[in-house]
């Protein structure tokens, strides 16, 4: 039977999985944004769109390298979740 603790555990695992999978992309965007901001401060160029293309390229490169790991992690999580459904129901 599904207890409130089980629901909270499933929700917690889903949030952890989301953070773990999104972390490489978010950290890449953060680092690139920081580098571009330092460059803008040093050169006094105040162009808002200057950081868009480097972030886009950085995230694309990170997806190429980390994409297989991200997909495998999600597939493993979903298989575990679906495999546990019979035990949760009855």
Residue 44 is given by DSSP the state T
Q: Are 62 and 32 in contact (CB under 8 A)?
A: no
Q: How confident is the model at residue 88 (pLDDT cuts 50, 70, 90)?
A: confident
Residue 69 has pLDDT above 80, yes or no: yes
- The gap between the terminal CA atoms of the chain, to the nearest Å, is 5
Model pLDDT for residues 22-55, shown as the tens digit of each residue: 999 999 999 999 999 999 999 988 887 888 999 9
Q: How confident is the model at residue 77 (pLDDT cuts 50, 70, 90)?
A: very high
Residue 25 is given by DSSP the state H
Between residues 1 and 64, which one has the greater pLDDT? 64
Q: What's the whole-model pTM score?
A: 0.80
Question: What are the tokens at 17?
Answer: 């999985």
Enumerate the H helices of the chain as residue ranges.
Answer: 4-43, 52-89
Domain definitions of the chain by residue range:
15-84
């Amino acid at each position: 039977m599904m207890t409130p603790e089980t629901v909270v555990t499933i929700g917690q695992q889903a949030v952890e999985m989301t953070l773990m999978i999104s972390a490489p992309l978010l950290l890449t965007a953060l680092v690139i944004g920081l580098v571009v901001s330092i460059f803008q401060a040093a050169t006094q160029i105040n162009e808002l769109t200057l950081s868009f293309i480097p972030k886009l390229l950085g995230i694309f490169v990170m997806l190429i390298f980390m994409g297989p790991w991200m997909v495998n992690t999600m597939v493993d999580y979903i298989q575990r979740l679906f495999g546990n459904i019979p035990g949760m129901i009855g």
